[in-house]
Structure 1
Amino acid sequence: MSTPLILGCLWVLAAAATAMLPMRRQMVPGLALLAAAPVLLAWIGWVHGWLWLAIGLFAFLSMFRNPLLYFLRRAMGRPVQVPKELEK
């Protein structure tokens, strides 16, 4: 197995572990995973081709759909809803 796929598997395990944390403790590791994903997906696509890139991209979008929609709405100037656990 190649290095990008091993790192991709570790990324998935880290994302699953982050999802098990309380909502307030998910921010920092979640943002780190969100930032690392495009680099890792590009590396997987470069080494293994577009099909594996597409599979990884679909998985990434499925796992991070709510944070990505939040950032998209903020960028477009639309109102956003923050989960009650994160409200102060």
Structure 2
Amino acid sequence: MTAPLILTCLWFISANVIAMLPTRDHHWRAAYILIGVGIPLLGWLTWEQGPILGLLVLAAGASILRWPVIFLWRRMRRLLGWGPSHHG
């Protein structure tokens, strides 16, 4: 096992442990930290292991951090005007 693969596994374990802990901010602070650590880790993993594993890890990470992804998607739709029209 390579170093990026081991660190990615530790990232997934940490994310799941953090999800089980109670927080007052609904895990948003932890999500920002996980994103900040996960993006460079994903790049390193993709560089070392290839794009297929990189895409699989990206999908798995997005499923763990689904609410930040959903809010980003909603914001992008609103900024690009892809949302539903509210003309009445």
**TM class by smaller structure:** 0.7 to 0.9
8 Å Cα contact 1:18/1:30 also seen in 2? no
The offset of 1:23, in angstroms, is 4.2
**TM-score between both structures, scaled by the size of structure 1:** 0.75
Q: Which amino acid aligns with 1:6?
A: I
After superposing on structure 2, the runs of 4+ consecutive aligned residues of structure 1 that deviate more than 4 Å are none
User: Helix, strand or coil for the counterpart of 1:24?
Assistant: coil
In structure 2, stretches of 5+ residues that fail to align are 84-88
Quick check: which has more Rg, 1 or 2?
2
1:18 lines up with 2:18 in the alignment: yes
**TM-score between both structures, scaled by the size of structure 2:** 0.75
8 Å Cα contact 1:8/1:40 also seen in 2? yes
Cross-structure match for 1:83: none
**Aligned alpha-carbon RMSD (Å):** 1.9
The offset of 1:40, in angstroms, is 0.7
Deviation string 1:23-82 (CA, Å, 9 cap, x unpaired) is: 42523222100121111111000001011101101101111121222234346468xxxx
Count of residue pairs brought into register by the alignment: 78
In structure 1, stretches of 5+ residues that fail to align are 79-88
Distance 1:68 1:23, change over 3 A: farther
Q: Which amino acid aligns with 1:33?
A: L
Cross-structure match for 2:44: 43
